A and B are shown apart, each in its own frame.
Chain A
Amino acid sequence: SQQGEEDPQALSIQEGENATMNCSYKTSINNLQWYRQNSGRGLVHLILIRSNEREKHSGRLRVTLDTSKKSSSLLITASRAADTASYFCATDSNDYKLSFGAGTTVTVRA
C-alpha cells in the first residue's frame, strides 16, 4: 500500500510558468522526500524536509510541510523543458523504508 498520494496526477505547463504539486500522507513521519524520475529511469533525490521543518528551498524548488494536515507541496519555479518528468513524494517513518506516492507527471511545453 502507498503512504503518500500526489495531486494532481498530471500537470501540463508552459515553459517559464510555475508548477505546484501536493502530497498527502497518512501516518506520522520522520521526514518527507521528493524525487524526480525521467522516463522510467532511476529516481533522483530532490529535497528532504524533516518533520520539524516547515519550508525548505533548493534552487528553483520550494517544499513546504504541514504535519498537522499531513501534507506537503513541491513548487518548481520558472519551469524548463528539462523539468519534464514524474515527481514522487516519499515518506520516511523510521521503519527503514520509503513509502512512495503514485507520482505527478509534469510536462513542460516549449
Chain B
Amino acid sequence: KAGVTQTPRYLIKTRGQQVTLSCSPISGHRSVSWYQQTPGQGLQFLFEYFSETQRNKGNFPGRFSGRQFSNSRSEMNVSTLELGDSALYLCASSLEGHGYEQYFGPGTRLTVT
C-alpha cells in the first residue's frame, strides 16, 4: 500500500497570507489527524477527522481550519499567517482513529517570513 502523502513538502509564505496543505491517507484509512511540530512546543494536535466529521480539535486559534472529503483526503488551511506558524505540519492516518496506530506522512515544512 502507498503511504500517507502530503503536498506540498515545502512552502514559503509571507505574513498575512493564507495557506492550504493537503494530505492523502493510506487507502482504507478513514481517520486523518493533523499535528504541528515546532522546536519550542513539540508535537501539538490540531484536529482529527473521520468520515468527513471533525471529532476533536486542539487548542489552536480559529485561523487554523481543516476538512475531510468523501475519499478521506484532508486539507488544512491557515489564514492570516503569523511568523509563529512556521513549523512542520504532519498528517497521520489510521483505520478508525483512537485505539489504532497512526501512520504519518513526511510533513509539510512551512516557513513564514
Contacts and interface: CB of A to CB of B under 8 A. Distances in A.
Interface stretch (A16-24, A59-67, A70-78, A92-100): A92-100
Contact of A42 (B50, B58, B90): B90
Contacts of B106: 41-42
B86 to A, nearest CB: 13
A45 B43 contact: no
Given A30-B98, A31-B99, A88-B43, A98 B33 contact: yes
A43 B104 contact: yes
The range of chain A's interface size is 20 to 34
Contacts, number: 65
B56 A45 contact: no
A35 B58 CA distance: 20
Given A42-B105, A100-B43, A102-B42, A92 B99 contact: yes
A41 B48 contact: no
B42 A95 contact: no
Interface residues of B, number: 28
Contact of B102 (A2, A41, A45, A102): A45
A104 interface: no
A40 B104 contact: no
Contacts of A100: 35, 42-43
Contacts of A33: 101-102
Given A2-B42, A95-B56, A98-B102, 6 more contacts: A35-B104, A42-B105, A44-B104, A88-B43, A96-B56, A99-B45
Interface of A: 1-2, 30-31, 33, 35, 40-45, 48, 88, 90, 92-103
**Which A-B residue pairs are the 6 nearest by beta carbons?**
A100-B43, A42-B104, A96-B56, A43-B104, A96-B55, A97-B45
Interface of B: 4, 31, 33, 35, 42-43, 45, 48, 50, 55-56, 58-59, 88, 90, 92, 97-107, 109
